Amino acid sequence: MMRYKEEKEVKKEAFRKYLESSGVLDSLTKVLVSLYEQNDKPSSALEFIQQKLGGPSVSDYEKLQAEKSDLQIKKKKNKNKPRIDEFSRQQ
C-alpha cells in the first residue's frame, strides 16, 4: 500500500514539475490573479480565462466552425466546376 502511495506522489511531483517548467503554472496563476483583481467579475469566468490565454471565445469558435463548414461546401462545389466547364467545351 505504501509503495502505491509513493508511486502516486512521484508521478504527481513529476507532473507538477512538467507544468512548472513549461510555463503553465505561471500562465494560469497570472490569469487567475487577473480574474481575482477584476472589480466587475465577468459573467463567464471560463470565457475570461480562454480570452486571456489567447483562445477564441465560445461565440468566436462557433463562428469559425460555421465559416469552416461554408468553405468546405464551396470547395466541394468548385472542385466539380472545372470538369463541368471542360465537358461543355468538348461538345
Lowest mean pLDDT among 12-26, 31-45, 62-76: 62-76
CA–CA distance, 76 with 39 (Å, rounded to integer): 49
Q: Give the alpha-carbon dihedral of 20, 26, 27, 29, to 10 degrees.
A: 120
Q: What is the pLDDT of residues 37-72, one digit of tens each?
A: 999 999 999 989 988 998 777 788 889 999 999 999
The domain locations on the chain are: 1-55, 56-91
List helix spans (H) across the chain: 2-21, 24-37, 45-52, 58-90
Residues in the chain: 91
Whole-model pTM over 0.75: no
